[in-house]
Amino acid sequence: MLTKTAVNEALHIIEGMYPEAECELIHSNPFELLIAVVLSAQCTDSLVNKVTPNLFTKYHAPRDFVAVEQEELEQDIRSIGLYRNKAKNIKKLSMSLIEQFDGEVPQTREELMSLAGVGRKTANVVASVAFGTPAIAVDTHVERVSKRLGICRWKDNVREVEETLMKKVPKEKWADTHHRLIFFGRYHCKAKDPQCSICPLLDMCREGKKRMRQQEVKHG
């Protein structure tokens, strides 16, 4: 397991690799953010950003999603994939907002996670981006990178990865950490074909060094 100091050193190096910020979901209020993040499950932010401008021109509040036919909403979001589940969840979620939260987006992670289509990652993104609640949203990139580097343990579940990151990263850097690790995971420490041989973190990376040793054996 990497120490607090080593983790912050790693984050600093990653920061140097990617000066610009992560692509973010287009939204202008907490409700639009919530919808956009629910839509973004299993697809990229840029893909979601292609449908949300039209979507938010047509739908402005929970009641608009409740009123529309499921099939029509499915067509409005069809291009992002998994559209039946997502349309169903958005209609259900919108009804919950009206019935339980006076039509507003709740601010706590527990309340957010009670909504259809909102899991731990989505709840953390909404809580932190819309309401400034300190949180680290752990997606597959953050999880994979944290495990390879040895920030957390291999067997940790998402909650444990999140808790370990919160312990090892200063609170004021949580939001930035999320973006940096996603960027690093998507473009460099990829799930398949990670770029270990040119990685500036190789010296401190347990998995990277292991992979390099395996390559040496393979290629004589």
Partner DNA sequence: AACTCGGGGCA
Partner DNA sequence: TGCCCAGAGTT
- Residues of each annotated binding site: 189, 196, 199, 205
Catalytic residue flag (residue 171): no
Beta carbon of residue 185, minimum distance to DNA (angstroms, whole number): 7
Please state the residue numbers annotated as binding site for [4Fe-4S] cluster.
189, 196, 199, 205
Q: Which of 4, 139, 167, 210 is catalytic?
A: 139
Instruction: Decide if residue 122 touches DNA (CB under 7 A).
Output: yes
Which value, to the nearest 10 degrees, does the dihedral of the CA atoms of residues 145, 147, 152, 156 take? Answer: 120
Question: Do residues 196 and 208 touch, judged by C-beta distance below 8 A?
Answer: yes
Site for DNA in 25-64 (CB under 7 A): 40-44, 47, 50
Tallying the residues shown for the chain, one arrives at: 220
Please answer whether residues 2 and 151 qualify as being in contact, where contact means their C-beta atoms are separated by less than 8 angstroms: yes
Tell whether residue 94 is a contact of DNA (CB under 7 A): no
Query: How far, CA to CA in Å, does 40 sit from each of 80, 83, 157?
Result: 8, 11, 21
Binding site for DNA (CB under 7 A): 40-44, 47, 50, 78-86, 89, 115-123, 139-141, 185-186, 190-192
Any idea which residues carry the catalytic annotation?
A: 121, 139
